[in-house]
Amino acid sequence: MSARQKRSPAIDAERRQLMNALHPVVKMLGTIVGHHIEVVLHDLTQPAHSIVAIANGHVSNRRVGNSILSGPKDDQGFAAAKDTLAERGEAVHSVIDGYPTLTRAGHRLKSSTVIFRDAAGEPFAALCLNADHTIIEATHAWLGRLLHPDGATPQPADEAPEMDTLMKEIISDAVRRTGKPVNLMSKEEKIQAVQAMMQRGLFIVKGGVERAAAALSVTRYTVYNYLEALRQRAELAKPAARRSNGARGAR
């Protein structure tokens, strides 16, 4: 058992208490914020089945038990949660507010996320709101069907994609971005593909490294090396970002 797994009973109790308190909050918010706003509670300790409560799940076509990978594309809140899973921080909650995302069907959303940390500074839960910005377009289409009742009947939404499909789509999209077949990709291009997969959360799900390795025709140890190289680059970029922010603040 790793050090991360050896939590004190007090920390476990704290986590259970907050999760139990957040469940009715999801239900309450879902009834008051509007039919077009999805409210989702994630248990970050079980990414393969992270959604433990959801209201207005029709916005992203998700339900309880779905993976964290099934969320909106370009989700900054999820990216922040993913990054913090790798390290401890201060025992304070984080808010990522008002950023654009896309559903898997391509609908524009505006999202906000709160990441909850326990007393040890480890993130374990996230509460997310996703507002559908296509509601006016949907209403327009609905009125159009009323005016033209002989038009085509809309098809029901597909079931939420399964984990296997999600992982394949993430890997395929990352490889496609390079614009080359795998056998012609350079090491740097493969690192970029791994970075795209990492940003979509592939490697916090069991089997993600192995699937990425097979897709890129490298070993899983090579994928781990790529991830370490990306981590080092991110660490080197932090001082430069702080200097840049400081310079802007001094103006």
Instruction: Specify the higher pLDDT residue, 45 or 163.
Output: 45
Report how far Cα 78 is from the mean position of its chain's Cα atoms: 4
Q: Check residue 20 and give its pLDDT.
A: 94
For the CA atoms of the chain, what is the radius of gyration?
Answer: 20
DSSP single-letter state for residue 169:
H
Q: Check residue 1 and give its pLDDT.
A: 38
Mean pLDDT over 71-84 rounds to 61
Mean pLDDT over 167-189 rounds to 89
CA 68 vs CA 125, 167, 194: distances in Å: 11, 11, 18
Q: Check residue 153 and give its pLDDT.
A: 46
Residue 40 near residue 53 (C-beta atoms within 8 A): yes
Residue 174 near residue 193 (C-beta atoms within 8 A): yes
Q: 73-77, 119-123, 193-197 — which is least confidently predicted?
A: 73-77
Edge-to-edge strand list for the sheet holding 108-117: 51-55, 37-43, 123-132, 108-117, 94-102
Above 70 in pLDDT, residue 236?
yes
Above 60 in pLDDT, residue 4?
no
Q: Check residue 233 and give its pLDDT.
A: 85
Instruction: Specify the higher pLDDT residue, 156 or 56.
Output: 56
Above 80 in pLDDT, residue 56?
yes
Nearest to 115 by CA among 166, 69, 50, 194: 50
Q: What's the mean pLDDT when you consider all of the chain?
A: 79
| pLDDT, tens only, 159-172 | 445 778 888 888 98
Percentage above 70 pLDDT, the chain: 73
54, containing H or E segment = strand 51-55
Cα gap 82→231, rounded to integer Å: 13
Q: Check residue 148 and give its pLDDT.
A: 61
Q: pLDDT band for position 92 (50/70/90)? A: confident
111, containing H or E segment = strand 108-117
Instruction: Specify the higher pLDDT residue, 53 or 44.
Output: 53
Tokens read off for 167:
């992982």
Phi/psi at 63 (5° precision): -150, 170
Q: Check residue 219 and give its pLDDT.
A: 92
3-state SS class at 37: strand
Q: Check residue 55 and give its pLDDT.
A: 94
**Residue linked to tokens 């592939």:** 202
Q: Check residue 60 and give its pLDDT.
A: 86
- Which residues lie below 8 Å from residue 189, measured CB to CB, with a gap of 6+? 178, 180
3-state SS class at 127: strand
Mean pLDDT over 22-31 rounds to 93
pTM for the complete prediction?
A: 0.59
Sign, Cα dihedral of 177, 180, 182, 186:
negative
Residue 101 near residue 3 (C-beta atoms within 8 A): no
Cα gap 140→134, rounded to integer Å: 10
| pLDDT, tens only, 133-161 | 765 555 666 666 666 665 544 444 444 45
